[in-house]
A = this chain, B = another copy of it.
Amino acid sequence: MPHELRRPERTFTIRQLCLEFKCTPRALRFYEDKGLLSPARQGLNRVYSYKDRARLQLILRGKRVNLSLAEIREILDLYDKRDGGASQNATALRKFRERIVTLEQQREDLDQAINLLKTSCQAIEDQLSHTRPDLLAEAEQPAAPPTTHRVGQRHPEHVR
């Protein structure tokens, strides 16, 4: 069976993943250090598989919702080790449930925060439209391409 199943065979260099997911090599190596990733090697060079890519995606998602790397690691570990260790799974189940609760709590907070900010914006707009309509117009522009903000807002590793 020579060349079937081509797709999942694709591999990635560290740079490719970094570009795709807007992170730095340093970060990927760091995740590896912490046991979140373990790409193959060709000589010394890291070679990331599709599965590695998927893991990375999960890592970043996790980060965005405020999970620590340690927590993400737990989840990840559990995910590809769904074999033996039923009791492991049981405790994991509890953890997951707890996590869901706190995440839903967070969703609450998030909604409230969004509303708060929105009404604040409205208030400011109203006030400005009375006093300085010019500034109001000026504030319309996003001023920059959508800042990812918070997590991963700075990028470099050789920005000079």
Contact = CB atoms under 8 A, between A and B. Distances in A.
Interface of A: 61-62, 64-68, 75, 78-79, 82, 86-87, 89-94, 96-107, 109-114, 116-118, 120-121, 123-125, 127-128, 131-132, 135-136, 138-139, 141-143, 146-151
Contacts of A92: 124
A103 B107 contact: no
A102 B147 contact: yes
A102 B148 contact: yes
Contacts of A117: 75, 96, 99-100, 103
Contact of A147 (B86, B90, B98, B150): B98
A138 B86 CA distance: 12
